Amino acid sequence: MPRFLAPITAALLALIASVPSAAQFCQNNPSSCLVIHSTSGCNSPSCCTTVCILDPTCCSGPWDAGCVALANSDCLGYCGAAVNGSCFSAHSNPSCDNAACCANVCGQDPFCCSTAWDANCALRASVSCSSTGGTCGAASAGSCFETHANSACDDAGCCNAVCTVDPSCCSGPWDLFCVYFANELCVGGCEPIIEPKATIEAEECGEYENDPCYATSGGVPQQITVGTQVVGSLGRIPIAGNPRDVDVYRFSVPDTDGDGFGRVTVVFATNPKSWAAIVPDVPCATLSSALVHVGGEFCVETTSTAVCLAAGNYRLVIGPGTFPQIANSEILCVPPQKYAFTIHVAPTCGFGCSSDDGSCFIARTTPGCDQANCCNQVCAGDPYCCQQEWDVNCVAAAGNTCLSGAPSNDLCANAAPAVVGVQAFNTLRAGTEIPQEPKACGATATRDVWFRWTADRSGSTRVETCGTWFDTMLAVYAGQCDVPVLLDCVDDETLCGGVGPARVDFEAQCGAEYLFRVMQKGSIGGEGSFRLSVSTTVCPACPADLDGDGNVAASDLALLLASWGGVSADLDNDGSVGASDLSLLLAAWGSCN
C-alpha cells in the first residue's frame, strides 16, 4: 500500500467500524426519518444506516434538517422519500414520495412497497389517495404533463380541456390519465370531429364576408339550420391592415309544440381558443346582449347552458379569445384553425308552470309558479327558475316582467281596505312614501304599501306580518294621510314565524281611522301576509246615540254639551269634545234605525 493512502484507509475503516454501533440508534427510534426530531436515528434501520454513513452526526446527535434532506434524497424504498418518485407514476423501485398515500396503497398491495411501484400501484394511488387541491392555471398546481398530488395543472386552457374530458383531474390527483389526456389534447394541432353532412362556412379563410360589424363591416350573416353541424375557421392572411376574423351566422328557433319557446343549447369544439355567443337578430347587436355563450379550445366539445328563447330569428357570433373579448392573438389561415358547432333546439322548455306551484312573487325551493304566462316569461330568461328553484332572483324577475307597475296601495292616499283576518300584500315595484322612518323602527324601509281601517271594534287590536318570507317592518298611524299620528313602529318580532316579521298591538277606538304601513326592509321583497286581529267588543251602530235609547235627539245633545272639552262624548276620537263632534251628532239626528 502506498504510504500516502494509509491515513485515508484508516479513516475509512474507522468510519465503517462506527456504523454498526451507530445502527443501534436506528433499531429502537420510532420517529420518522422524514421528520426533524431531537433524538438520534429514525424508524427505518436501512434508511437510518444509509444516512448515518453519509453523516455520522445523525446517529450521534439530533436528527436535524440535514438528516431529513439525506433521507429524502437517498432512502430509496422508504415511504414518503422524494427519491422514490410520484405516487401517481409507475417506476421500478418500490414506494413513492407521499407517506400517507404510500402506506394506503401498500396496505392494499404489499408488492408496491416490496418490489416495484408499477402501473397498478399508480392507478391504486389515483383512486385511493386524496388530492391537495389546485386551480387551473395556478403555477403551484403542477405541470400538466407530469403526475402530481394536486388537482388541476398550471396551464389553464389545457387544464380546462382535460377536466372537460375527465372531471376527476380537477377534483382528485393529476394522475396518469390526466397526463395522457394532456398529451393528446394540448400538444400540437388538433381538429374537431366533423360530421359527414356538416355545413361548411361559405367564407374562405382570409375573407370577410360573414361579419357585418364586429371586426370589419359590410358582411352578411350566413344562414344556417338548427340541428346541423357547421364547420368554419378563424384566421387571417398576415398582411398589414387585415383585421381579426369574426364569423356571424343567422338561424331560426321553431315553435313545434305551441308554447312559443324553444330550449336552445350550443355544442362547440374549436382548435384556437375562441367562443360562440347567441345574440338578438338585430344589426350589430352588442355582445353584452348575448343570451348565452360557450367557449373552448384544444378541440374539446363543450355544451352551453340551456336557454329558453322565444320562437324567431337569432344570430350566432364566433370570435377568438375569451368571451366577450375579441382577442388580438395572431390566428393565421395556415394551418387552418377550425371550429365546429351545432345549435340544438328542444321542442319544449319543460317549464311545467302550474297553478299548484305557488305564487310567482314568493321565493321557495321548488321550481315554477302559479301564473303560466308570467312563469313562462321568467323562465325564458332564466331557465333555472323552472328547472331548479323559484328563488329571490326569479321573484324579482316576475316583478319586473309580470307586473305593470307599482301596487295599487303604493300610496297612503290609495290605501287598501284592511279586513279582519289575513290578506296578501306585494311590495314589488312599490316606492317609499315617507323617506325618514319613525325612530321607533330603528331601520329604514326600501318599499312600502298601505292599508286603511275604520274601527268597528274597540279595545286590544293587533296587526302583524308573521309568516312572511322576507324582512318587514310595520307602522300604525291614527288619522288621515295628510297628518298621520304615529302610534307605534316595530322592526322585528321574535315571537312569531317568518323572516324578520313585525307585530304591533294598540287600543282601537270606535269609529277611529287607522293607517297600517307595511314596509320592506332590504333589497328582497315580494308577496307577503298581513293579519288584522280585533277584540270582540263591537262598536255601537249609532255612536251619536249617547244615551242608548235608539235615537239621536235632544237628550244626546245635552250629554255632548255637558262634556264639552272633555272626552266622554268624543265622537271623532280627536281627544276632545268640540265643534266637529257636534256636527257629527247633528248629522246623525233621528232614529238609529
Contacts 24+ apart (CB under 8 A), 538-545: 538/456, 538/457, 539/455, 539/456, 539/457, 539/458, 539/510, 539/511, 540/510, 541/592, 542/588, 542/592, 543/510, 543/511, 543/571, 543/584, 543/588, 544/571, 544/584, 544/585, 544/587, 544/588, 545/588, 545/592
CATH 2.60.120.380 corresponds to the domain 412-533: yes
Residue identified by cell 348565452 is 292
> What is the pLDDT at residue 437?
54
d(CA 226, CA 221): 15
| DSSP letters spanning 42-95 | -S-HHHHHHHHHH-GGGGTS-B-HHHHHHHHHH-TTSTT-GGG--TTS-BSSS-
CA 435 vs. chain centroid, Å, equals 33
Distances in Å between the Cα of 350 and the Cα atoms of 92, 308, 354, 439 are 56, 9, 12, 49
Which phi and psi angles does 473 have, rounded to 5°? -130, 165
Share of the chain above pLDDT 90, in %: 41
Consecutive H or E run containing 123 = helix 119-128
Mean pLDDT of 50-63: 92
List the strands of the sheet with 527-533, edge to edge: 421-426, 527-533, 459-464, 503-508
Strands (DSSP E) contained in 367-410 are: none
The residues near 373 (Cβ < 8 Å, ≥ 6 apart) are 402
Least confident range from 75-79, 115-119, 195-199, 369-373: namely 369-373
Residue 37: strand pairing partners: 63
Task: Give the confidence band of 439 by pLDDT, cuts at 50, 70, 90.
Answer: low
**Residue extent(s) of CATH 2.60.120.380 domains in the chain:** 199-346, 412-533
Mean pLDDT of 278-307: 90
Distances in Å between the Cα of 571 and the Cα atoms of 193, 281, 554 are 88, 68, 16
> What is the pLDDT at residue 438?
56
CB neighbours of residue 280 within 10 Å: 14
> What is the pLDDT at residue 336?
72
d(CA 299, CA 190): 6
Mean pLDDT of 472-501: 86
> What is the pLDDT at residue 15?
45
Task: Give the confidence band of 316 by pLDDT, cuts at 50, 70, 90.
Answer: very high
Which phi and psi angles does 530 have, rounded to 5°? -120, 130
pTM above 0.85, yes or no: no
Task: Give the confidence band of 388 by pLDDT, cuts at 50, 70, 90.
Answer: confident
d(CA 278, CA 348): 19
Residues 455, 517: contact at Cβ < 8 Å?
Answer: no
Share of the chain above pLDDT 70, in %: 93
Task: Give the confidence band of 415 by pLDDT, cuts at 50, 70, 90.
Answer: very high
Cell numbers linked to 152: 388541476
Mean pLDDT of 430-437: 72
> What is the pLDDT at residue 556?
85
Residues 96, 119: contact at Cβ < 8 Å?
Answer: no
Consecutive H or E run containing 247 = strand 247-253
Task: Give the confidence band of 482 by pLDDT, cuts at 50, 70, 90.
Answer: confident
- Which CATH number is 199-346 given? 2.60.120.380
Mean pLDDT of 27-54: 90
> What is the pLDDT at residue 398?
94
- For 456-471, the pLDDT digits (tens) are 888 899 999 988 999 9
